[in-house]
Amino acid sequence: MKVNTEWISISDMMSGLMMVFLFIAIAFMVQVQDEQQAVKEIAMTYQKSQKSLNMDLKKEFNKDLERWGAEITDNNIFRFNSPEVLFASGSSNISNEFKSILNDFFPRYIKLLSTKKYKDEIDEIRIEGHTSNAWNGAKSKQIIYLKNMKLSQERANNVLKFCYSIKNLIIQEDRIWLESHFRANGMAFSKLILKDNGKQDYQKSRRVEFKVLTKAQEKIYKIVEQLQ
C-alpha cells in the first residue's frame, strides 16, 4: 500500500509539472501571436503612411522633377540624379545650380514633412551622398573606397549645412526639430544604380538622396528582436 501511495504521489507531481509547462507554452504562444499581430498592425499603418507620403510628394514636386534631374521612388526616396548639376567631379562644393534647386526644394520638402500628418511619426530625415566605384588615378580598391567614402560624406555634410542655413521662415521655425532629426551619411558606392543589363550606371550612381525613416520601422525592429 505504501508503494502504491508513493507511486500515486510521483504521478500526481509529474502531472502537475506537465500542466505548468503546458500553461507556460500556451502563455508563450499567446504572447507571440499578440506580438505578431502588433507587427502586422504597425506594418499596415506604415504601408498606408508610405503610400500617402508618396502621393503628397509627387503632388508637390512632379512638375519640378524633370528640370531638376530628380525622381521620387516608390519608397519615397527623393533622388537627385544629375551629377554634373550637383558637384564638380571629385569636389564636395555644391554647384550654384544645385544651391538654387535646394533653395526651392528644401523649404517645400520640410513644410510637407512637418505637417501634423507626418511630423510626429518621423524618426529621421537623412541626406545620403553616393558615388560610383571609380576614382581616376587610384592604384588600389582600398584607396578608391576610402576616397569615395570621404567624398560622399563631405558632400552629404555640405548639403545638410546648406539646407539647414537656408534663410526661409519654414526652416527657421523648424530648426530645433531639424536638429533632432536631420542627418547626413556618406555611402560611397555601397548602393550602386545598375542599368537593365546589370552593369553600373556611372551617372546615376553619383547622386544625392533625401529619405525619411519613420518610427514605425523602429517599432517593428524592436518587436522582431524580442521574437528572436
Same domain, 48 and 34: no
Amino acid 17: pLDDT: 65
Q: Which of 13-22, 42-51, 78-87 has the highest mean pLDDT?
A: 78-87
CATH number of the domain enclosing 213: 3.30.1330.60
Same domain, 34 and 137: no
Q: What is the DSSP annotation of 35-52? A: HHHHHHHHHHHHHHHHHH
Amino acid 89: pLDDT: 87
Domain count, the chain: 2
Domain span including residue 149: 42-224
State the average pLDDT over residues 149-167: 97
CA separation for the pair 216, 48 (Å, rounded): 11
Same domain, 91 and 159: yes
Same domain, 84 and 167: yes
pTM of the model: 0.78
Average pLDDT, rounded, for the chain: 86
Same domain, 92 and 143: yes
Higher pLDDT, 105 or 29: 105
Same domain, 93 and 20: no
Least confident of 42-56, 89-103, 137-151: 42-56
State the average pLDDT over residues 55-72: 97
State the average pLDDT over residues 195-216: 92
Same domain, 22 and 48: no
For residue range 162-177, list pLDDT tens digits in order: 999 999 999 999 999 9
Q: Can you list the alpha helix ranges (DSSP code H) found in 69-137? A: 83-86, 96-113
Same domain, 29 and 104: no
Amino acid 144: pLDDT: 95
**106-131 residues labelled b (16+ CB within 10 A) or e (exposed):** bbebbbbbbeeebeeebebbbbbbbb
